[in-house]
Amino acid sequence: MHVGLSFGLVYDWSHAAALRATALQVEAVTGFRSGGGLWFNDLFLALWIWVAWRWESMGRRGRGVWWSGFLFMGFNAAVVFVSGPARWMGLAWTLFAGVSAVRDLRRRDPSGSAIPTL
């Protein structure tokens, strides 16, 4: 939903416009201009769709890799590239997502044996 709304309403379905806007946002925060994070977002969206179809069959290691990418992107989007109260809400979201990741990765498998942590 986020991708569809941002591309449709903000960037008028233009990947080039989204790359320019991303590069300017990165430059404002880091001092160097790069839109490369948008390509990472594109890859992550494709992975997200794939994971949604294969979640239960992925096993602990596959879900761990997915959670790591999700938390990295979420932290950047919700904490690094925002300010004010939104940053604190983003930090709370990131902590909640991190706890969810740990709980998911420590979940017991159907046979009842504990799945070891990463």
Give the H/E segment covering residue 4: helix 2-5
Distance CA 13, CA 10 (A): 8
Quick check: is 36 in a domain?
no
Cβ-contact 59, 8 below 8 angstroms: no
Three-state DSSP class for residue 25: helix
Is residue 10 in a domain?
no
Is residue 31 assigned to a domain?
A: no
Q: Is residue 25 part of a domain?
A: no
The residue range of the domain holding 117 is 58-118
Mean pLDDT score across all residues of the chain: 79
Query: Tens digit of pLDDT for each residue in 17-47?
Result: 999 998 998 899 889 999 888 888 888 888 7
pLDDT of residue 49: 77
pLDDT interval class at 6 (50, 70, 90): confident
* Single-letter amino acid, residue 38: L
Does residue 108 form part of some domain?
A: yes
Query: How far is Cα 87 from Cα 8, in angstroms, rounded to an integer?
Result: 25
Domains contained in the chain, number? 1
> pLDDT tens digits for 68-85?
777 887 888 788 888 888
Whether 18 is covered by a domain: the verdict is no
pTM of the model: 0.51
d(C-alpha 14, C-alpha 12), whole Å: 5
